[in-house]
Amino acid sequence: MQGLVPTILLALLSGSPASAGPVQRRQEVVTQTVAASAPSAPTPWTWNAGGSQAWPIHESCNATERALLKKGLDDAATLAAHARDHVLRFGNSSDMFQKYFGSAPSAEVVGWYDKIAKGDRSRFKFRCDDVDGNCVLPGWGGHWRGENGTDETVICPLSYTTRKPLEDMCGYGYRVARGALSFYFGSDLIHRLLHMPSVGEGAAEHFADSYTECLELAAEKPAEAVRNSHTLQYFALDVYAFDVAVPNEGCTGKPAREEEEEGSHEHESAPAPTATTSSAPTTTSAAAAECHTHSNGEVHCA
């Protein structure tokens, strides 16, 4: 009997694995690692999305027209950029500024040129097809389409055959005071760009025509001079000629009427020529007959 007790205790203490199995399984802990997903990066805010610095040239332009038009638009940007930089350097203190803009503050002038040189170009377009039928009119180098297409300007074939590049500034006897504003493609396109609502915004308009009228406007109404499209063209041409093309000399010249008056004074003693009658029709050069339509619907021929 006494020998039996230790045997029983030994059996209890050394129980079989089968009997202990269920208890051990209940005590097992299963650990599973789950990778946390990284938070998605916020979409960056692109404030200038949709804008463009490329010149918007319509598919109606062929390769030659496209190349010439792009060169002309690049010239317009070059003229505008230099006019802007001249004003940024001298403000409204330079003689050239005061001649064209009088006593006006310089900030608005800087703004107009900067819009042409660096402003967004995605909202307007230049096209080469005669969609409105105006290119057949004598002397028309192009026109803003107005109500037919407020953000479009048509450039007619005449522009590609008569307009000069900026590299020719002061050549061919050109003088700012008596030369046509359309003589150079770049200066002509400054005017056409200002007609675009997204550029001129209805503020840059047509208040004076000729060189002399623009100078009178500067003296009498500086606030209008800084918004006169022809004044902005004349200043850009004159200051580029003086600062860049022919440094410290330029090619301002004098208005044709003043030159004629000076010539008549020099030859007052000469006999007057005999009047003759000719049946030949009077002709007008393409540059002199240049016409364009203003935002108010008025057609102007310069």
Average pLDDT over residues 233-239: 98
- Report yes or no: 108 and 227 within 8 Å, Cβ to Cβ: yes
Nearest CA among 55, 205, 199, 52 for reference residue 127: 55
For residue 137, is pLDDT > 90? yes
Alpha helices, DSSP H, located in 151-204: 157-162, 185-195, 197-200
pLDDT of residue 41: 80
Q: Is there a contact between 101 and 222 (Cβ–Cβ < 8 Å)?
A: yes
For the chain, give the percent of residues with pLDDT over 70. Answer: 73
58 contact partners, CB below 8 Å, separation of at least 6: 125, 126, 127, 128, 129, 152
Residue range 8-54, pLDDT digits in tens: 444 444 555 444 455 455 556 656 665 666 677 888 899 999 999 99
Per-residue burial over 262-275, b = 16 or more CB atoms within 10 Å of its CB, e = otherwise: eeeeeeeeeeeeee
Q: Describe the crossing of helices 107-118 and 185-195 by its angle, rounded to 10 degrees.
A: 100
